Amino acid sequence: MDFADARKRMVDGQLRPNKVTDPRVLDAMRELPRESFVPASLRMRAYADEDVPLPGGRALIEPMVIARLAQLAAVRPGDRALVLCAGSGYGAAVLARCGAQVTAVESDAALAGLAASALAACLPAGAVRLETGSPAEGHPGGAPYDAILIEGEVPEVPPAIAAQLAEGGRLVTVLGGGRRTGVAVLARKLGGAVSVTPAFDCATIALPDFAPAPGFVF
């Protein structure tokens, strides 16, 4: 496969027709080798308009959804960005290419290893700081953040994560109930309060790190 041609077709056929207009996002996804962010056996599927399965029941989010989430985050050069459940690192790489200073947190050691290799191959050293830890805790040591991306579906915007936003900061993720029917949202911190606004319908994989604790059954 000609991956450079596949990237161009992805941008022109999947992103532009689906309301992705930010030139920085388009340029980032035209340039980043998405095939490097999946296991070698799945590289031929890297540019399909669907989630690509990753180890541990996770997924590389489909191009249109991650592009629109990145666009919604509206990072500016120099913004401090946090990516949670960073997976293989692709979302973090997109935000870094848009000019953000990115910290990426991943709990799965295998995915973190894949991310470290992929990021090192396509970004300057230090462009993304990769941390292995609990995404549900965020990364308070680096707070506050101008932008936070939770890379997958969660049942709600976690208050502990929203608290790590700077004034005027944006948090983007997908809300849903684990049934592959969700809605992308933008949470913004203004005047110390966080408001959540629906942005677009989409479906992606639910994140185990943010699953609610099981309740008692009588």
Domain spans, the chain: 3-209
Is 120 exposed, middle or buried (CB count within 10 Å of its CB: 0-12, 13-18, 19+)? middle
For 125, which DSSP code?
A: T
Q: Sorting pLDDT into bands at 50, 70 and 90, what band is 217?
A: very low
What tens digit of pLDDT does each residue of 19-50 get? 999 999 999 999 999 999 999 999 999 999 99
φ and ψ at 168, to 5 degrees? 85, 0
pLDDT tens-digit series, residues 172-213: 999 997 677 799 999 999 999 999 999 999 999 999 999 876
Residue 38 CA to residue 127 CA, distance in Å, equals 20
Say which residues have a Cβ less than 8 Å from residue 141's Cβ, sequence separation at least 6.
none
SS3 content of the chain, % helix, strand, coil (to 5): 40, 30, 30
pLDDT in tens, 52-89: 999 888 999 999 999 999 999 999 999 999 999 999 99
In degrees, rounded to 5, the angle at the alpha carbon of residue 61 between the alpha carbons of residues 88 and 127 is 40
Q: What architecture (CATH level 2) is domain 3-209? A: 3-Layer(aba) Sandwich (3.40)
C-alpha distances in angstroms, 183 versus 26, 29, 60, 65, 118? 22, 22, 17, 10, 29
- Rg (the chain; Cα; Å): 16
Q: What is the number of H-type helices and E-type strands within the chain?
A: 6, 9
List, in sequence order, every beta strand (DSSP E) within the chain: 52-54, 58-60, 80-84, 101-106, 128-132, 145-154, 165-176, 182-190, 193-202
Q: Which two tokens stand for residue 2?
A: 């000609």
DSSP state of 79: -
pTM for the predicted model, two decimal places = 0.95
Report the DSSP pairing between strands 145-154 and 80-84: parallel
Which tokens is 47 given? Answer: 């540019």
